[in-house]
């Protein structure tokens, strides 16, 4: 996992392991998790998984015995490399005759109520942040109401001048809608497009998953066995940091303090606090590692992660081994890169490096740009370099060398000025390309004719 990197080229996909390996991995996961000898709060693992599926799939026509394929993300307007998981989830479930379930991580917080826009003005480009709502602290999506209705409603109109030079109209004004809860609005926008484009997954907010009896059994097991679980949890985090040379105390997650449980306590006022062994199970929400721990062990047969989640689930793997005593079920890491179809300038990063090298050489090595006859005097002087032990002679020789280069530099002054101008132009174009070709712009900034066919490729994985 440490070697995994986000794709850089337009249209490139990272899938590890590849899709062809997944059917066998799903079958192996199902055998691995069908255990009667592992107890979770008085339930065998087999019984708990049956209960979890029955509760989660209640009201649907899904087959409880079919493979259950999972993915999940916060209800934000993510970039296409994140959204691609939903389409692969649907394609894999179709291929396996299973059920696709997307977990809406609405217990996470909305940290920045704005979107990034690339703004193109002539040969220059910059990024502008445009707010869609007022910032008022960090609240979980499940409680995050739209605070400024007019700011939210007018977002597409205020954004329109930013894309005036793009050459296309994005999806944003076509899909934007008003609602009371930010996460619910963004989920509705996403689901509407998915259904129109042939991707019909089941969606389940984590806030609702947290209120199931199955999750309650899982949470009580941890709370009642907190000292042992905490020791295993913290040891797994420390091992990950050591293996990946991570110095931050917050990555991949903070260690649990004495008496602290790996859950959030959700309050009616939208605030959340750290859980303890005495916390009410009914008010708990999982943290990142405990969410995927429950999802992979107690609910699903296969999980599709993004790069960040896939790396961090190495910690979950260690917890599964050491706490439950089983080999962790396999999962996939999936990501992709799709650029906005904006104009590209001709200059590349390599062009910039060459131009900057030419400017440096014209200044420090002007003889490179003169004929051998013009540089003869310098070459003769260079050939007379004194030995290193002759410090006084070497100082005099260096002064003569600098003076000679200054005289030669005057002969290439016009070329140096041209090179500086070319370098400034190339640097500006390369910088603009870096902005215009970022991979992390929200999917609502893309035109449908670019985005839809790219995502629909993942519906046919058989």
Q: List 260's β-bridge partners, or say none.
A: 276
* pLDDT tens-digit readout, 307-319: 999 999 999 999 9
Residue 391: phi and psi, rounded to 5, are -65, -45
Q: Residue 99: its pLDDT value, please?
A: 98
Q: Residue 319: its pLDDT value, please?
A: 98
Give the contacts of 450 (CB within 8 A, at least 6 positions apart).
338, 340, 341
Q: Residue 382: its pLDDT value, please?
A: 67
Q: List 102's β-bridge partners, or say none.
A: 71, 203
**Residue 114 three-state SS:** strand
Is the distance from CB of 73 to CB of 306 less than 8 angstroms? yes
**Omega prior to 252 cis, within 30 of 0:** yes
Domains and CATH numbers, the chain: 13-110+184-341+440-459 (3.40.50), 349-436 (no CATH)
Q: Residue 2: its pLDDT value, please?
A: 57
* Positions of the chain with pLDDT under 50: none
Angle between helical axes of 413-436 and 391-411 (0-180°, round to 10): 80
Q: Which 8-state DSSP code applies to residue 140?
A: B
Cα–Cα dist 171/183, whole Å: 18
The reported pTM is 0.90
Cα–Cα dist 89/125, whole Å: 36
């Amino acid at each position: 996992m440490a070697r995994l990197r986000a794709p850089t080229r337009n249209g490139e996909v990272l899938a590890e392991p590849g899709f062809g390996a997944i059917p066998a991995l799903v079958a192996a996961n199902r055998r691995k998790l069908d255990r009667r000898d592992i107890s979770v709060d008085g339930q065998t693992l087999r019984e708990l998984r049956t209960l979890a599926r029955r509760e989660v799939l209640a009201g649907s026509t899904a087959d409880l015995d079919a493979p259950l394929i999972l993915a999940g993300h916060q209800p934000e307007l993510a970039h296409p490399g994140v959204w691609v998981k939903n389409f692969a989830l649907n394609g894999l479930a179709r291929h396996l005759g299973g059920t696709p379930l997307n977990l809406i991580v609405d217990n996470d917080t909305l940290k920045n109520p704005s979107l990034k826009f690339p703004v193109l003005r002539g040969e220059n480009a910059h990024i502008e942040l445009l707010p869609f709502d007022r910032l008022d602290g960090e609240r979980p999506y499940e409680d995050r109401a739209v605070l400024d209705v007019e700011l939210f409603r007018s977002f597409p109109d205020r954004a329109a001048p930013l894309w005036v030079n793009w050459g296309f109209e994005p999806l944003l004004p076509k899909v934007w809608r008003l609602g009371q809860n930010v996460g619910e609005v963004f989920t509705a926008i996403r689901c509407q497009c998915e259904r129109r484009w042939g991707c019909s997954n089941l969606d389940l907010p984590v806030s609702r998953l947290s209120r199931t009896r199955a999750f309650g059994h899982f949470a009580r097991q941890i709370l009642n066995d907190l000292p042992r679980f905490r020791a295993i949890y913290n040891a797994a985090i420390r091992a990950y940091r050591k293996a990946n040379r991570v110095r931050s105390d917050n990555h991949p997650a903070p260690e649990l303090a004495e008496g602290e449980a790996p859950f959030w306590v959700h309050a009616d006022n939208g605030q959340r606090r750290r859980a303890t062994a005495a916390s009410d199970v009914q008010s708990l929400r999982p943290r990142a590692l405990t969410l995927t721990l429950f999802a992979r062990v107690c609910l699903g047969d296969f999980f599709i992660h993004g790069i960040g989640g896939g790396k961090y689930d190495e910690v979950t793997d260690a917890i599964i081994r050491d706490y439950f005593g089983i080999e962790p079920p396999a999962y996939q890491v999936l990501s992709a890169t799709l650029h906005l179809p904006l104009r590209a300038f001709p200059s590349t990063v390599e062009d910039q490096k060459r131009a900057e090298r030419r400017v440096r050489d014209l200044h420090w090595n002007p003889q490179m740009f003169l004929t051998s006859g013009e540089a003869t005097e310098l070459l003769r002087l260079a050939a007379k370099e004194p030995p290193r032990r002759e410090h006084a002679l070497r100082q005099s020789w260096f002064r003569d060398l600098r003076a000679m280069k200054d005289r030669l530099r005057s002969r290439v002054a016009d070329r140096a000025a041209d090179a500086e101008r070319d370098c400034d132009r190339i640097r500006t174009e390369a910088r603009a390309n870096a902005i215009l070709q970022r991979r992390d712009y929200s999917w609502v900034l893309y035109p449908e004719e670019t985005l839809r066919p790219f995502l629909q490729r993942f519906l046919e994985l058989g």
